[in-house]
Amino acid sequence: MSLMSKLLMSTVLASVTLSANAQPDNKQLVKYVKRAVVKNPQVKVKGVTVLESKTDERLPGWTILLTTMDLEYQKKEIHAPEMMFVKDGLVTGHLVNLKTGNDYRDEIKPSVPQSYYDDAHLLFGNKDAKHKILIFSDPQCPFCQEVVPAIFKVSKENPAKIAVYYYHLPLLRIHPVSDVLTRVMHVAQHEGKTDVVEKIYSLKIDPRETDMTKILAAVKSHTGYSVTAAQVDAKEVKAAMQADEMASSKLMVTGTPTIYIDGEWDKMRDGYKKLIK
């Protein structure tokens, strides 16, 4: 069970009564989170920040609140994403289509802020390209290894048409080795060695490896790129990784690869193919 699962145990259809036809205020949202979302008594709910309010044509009358729960656990601040559906004085965290069995919670994503398309995350293509692809990925994720290099390839071949903006999201519980690998990728990218980023996707290494000396040696052997432990451990590199994690949290990204094309979530992860026809 993940740390977040320990902190938060959401009920499937928990609702609290609100003032009819009114947007819940912060006090009501905090009350709802305490009652229906956060079940761990050791977690203090300090507030709820609404990042975006939106509607969906499939859910007439419902307002969807995309929020961040501001929590404290063992004297550490945690900002956890949470989706809420509000209608007629009720709020719930899940809406399930009984015909399909699909939970709309899994099908609705926040809008991508324009600030996510910055120079620091531009990996391939031109920043004024016709289409922008945003990627959250872990190089050790098998699904990422199938899809992400193909997107890199089409962007390099069509730089005026496709720009790739890349965010690191290492799945450390599954692939501890990605902690070091993603930092190596960050350093390489900012040295202009984007080919190293691409090559690391084909690196064969034990996903549980945590010995930095062994990891850096494996990277050098596979890519020809030499980087020091001091470079990888630099304060600014770790801060960049934390910023990427926060960016993924604000977009409620929970798995890899998560891909957006021109601001729209690409659920099937193959939308890039249509851009080059």
Write the DSSP string, 191-238.
Answer: TT-HHHHHHHTT----TT---HHHHHHHHHHHH-----HHHHT-HHHH
pLDDT cut 90: percent of the chain above it: 84
CA–CA distance, 53 with 213 (Å, rounded to integer):
47
Q: With beta carbons less than 8 A apart as the criterion, state whether 181 and 137 touch.
A: no
| 101 Rama class: left (phi>0) / alpha (psi -120 to 50) / beta | left
Query: Mean pLDDT across the stretch 122-151?
Result: 98
Residues comprising the chain, all counted: 277
Q: How much is the pLDDT for 21?
A: 53
CA–CA distance, 11 with 179 (Å, rounded to integer):
32
Q: How much is the pLDDT for 9?
A: 47
Q: How much is the pLDDT for 254?
A: 84
CA–CA distance, 166 with 116 (Å, rounded to integer):
10
Q: How confident is the model at residue 105 (pLDDT cuts 50, 70, 90)?
A: very high
What pTM was computed for the model? 0.86
DSSP 130: S
pLDDT in tens, 49-104: 999 999 999 999 999 999 999 999 999 998 888 999 999 889 999 999 999 999 99
- Share the mean pLDDT of the chain: 92
Closest Cα to residue 180, out of 131, 233, 217, 225? Answer: 233
CA distances from 122 to 167, 182, 189, 207, 229 (A): 9, 15, 9, 27, 25
pLDDT in tens, 172-185: 999 999 999 999 99
Tokens of 168: 């690191």
pLDDT in tens, 187-222: 999 999 999 999 999 999 999 999 999 999 999 999
Calculate ∠ Cα 57-103-64, nearest 5°: 45
pLDDT in tens, 22-57: 678 999 999 999 999 998 999 999 999 999 999 999
